[in-house]
Amino acid sequence: MKEWITGRNPVYEVLRTIRRQVFRLWIVRRVQQQGRINDILSLSKREKVPVEWVERKQLDKIADNHQGVALQVDGYPYAAFQDVLQRAQERNEPLFVLLLDLIQDPQNFGTLLRTAEAVGVHGVVMPGRRAARITPAVVNASSGACEHLLVLQANISQTISALKKEGVWIIGLEGSSDAQSIEKMDLSGPLGVVVGSEGEGMRELVRRSCDVLVQLPMRGKIESLNAAVAGSVVLYSAYLARYQSVEESRNL
């Protein structure tokens, strides 16, 4: 199934990774050939992607904020569980997995994917139904970061069980009284971070599958952060703990 990816950074990242089949590239006539546009043209030449110079109105029919460029590709290539294990092994790192339980807003989804890629998550797990998929809108929201990630569609509870067999500790992000402050958690080892949906949080079965529930300490007057912000904070907390642990082991 063909789809259009728009926006300079998303198009650049798709061309840089070449995990999808690429059909053609549209660029608006008279666009300034500098910066990211030059990068895109260089990659398209390297990958032998046909370039068509078109009127802006043609891209306007595809998306509002296209930034003068659109790339036609096939659908997103989802990964398998073994791919995630292999990536961690190749990097010689303890497993680091993000599990998204029915995240539905493309902007939140894209933000979490962008953060996951930035902190070195080995894989992202999402349900196959009732959740946002990686659409062009999500690619755009992640600024193309999803093209570098291993994302798999799978049953969340079953995947948690499989991760536990690999020695992964599962923490669920929740703002209830049952949740412990993340400041007390050791996040340096094999870790799975579960983020629930924007409105309902984690489903009960997924919640019970977690080893521990965590919450973020807050001093302000608002009661909570949205799923994307809270999940990103936890991911960065884990990244800092893992990085510090690696540095300490190197200094021993």
60-86: pLDDT as tens digits: 999 888 999 999 999 999 999 999 999
Per-residue confidence (pLDDT) for residue 248, from 0 to 100: 54
pLDDT cut 90: percent of the chain above it: 73
For residue 48, what are the CA distances in angstroms to 8, 18, 23, 76, 232? 18, 12, 10, 20, 37
Give the tokens for residue 248.
């300490």
> What structural domains does the chain harbor?
3-73 (3.30.1330.30), 81-251 (3.40.1280.10)
The rounded distance, in Å, linking the Cα atoms of 188 and 92 is 14
Is-contact 187 158, C-beta < 8 A?
no
Whether residue 170 is predicted with pLDDT greater than 80 in this model: the reply is yes
Phi (first) and psi of residue 11, to 5 degrees: -65, -40
- pLDDT for res 50: 94
pLDDT band for position 94 (cuts 50, 70, 90): very high
Pairing of strands 169-173, 212-215: parallel
Q: How confident is the model at residue 246 (pLDDT cuts 50, 70, 90)?
A: low
> Beta 123-126 vs 96-101: how paired, if at all?
parallel
Q: What is the pLDDT of residue 215?
A: 85
pLDDT band at 132 (very low <50, low <70, confident <90, very high): confident
* Contact (Cβ atoms closer than 8 angstroms) between residue 123 and residue 149: yes
Whole-prediction pTM: 0.91
Distance (Å, whole) CA 106 – CA 46: 31
Place of tokens 């398998």: 80
pLDDT of 176 above 80: no
Q: Is the CA virtual torsion 10, 16, 22, 26 positive or negative?
A: positive
* Sequence letter at residue 248: E
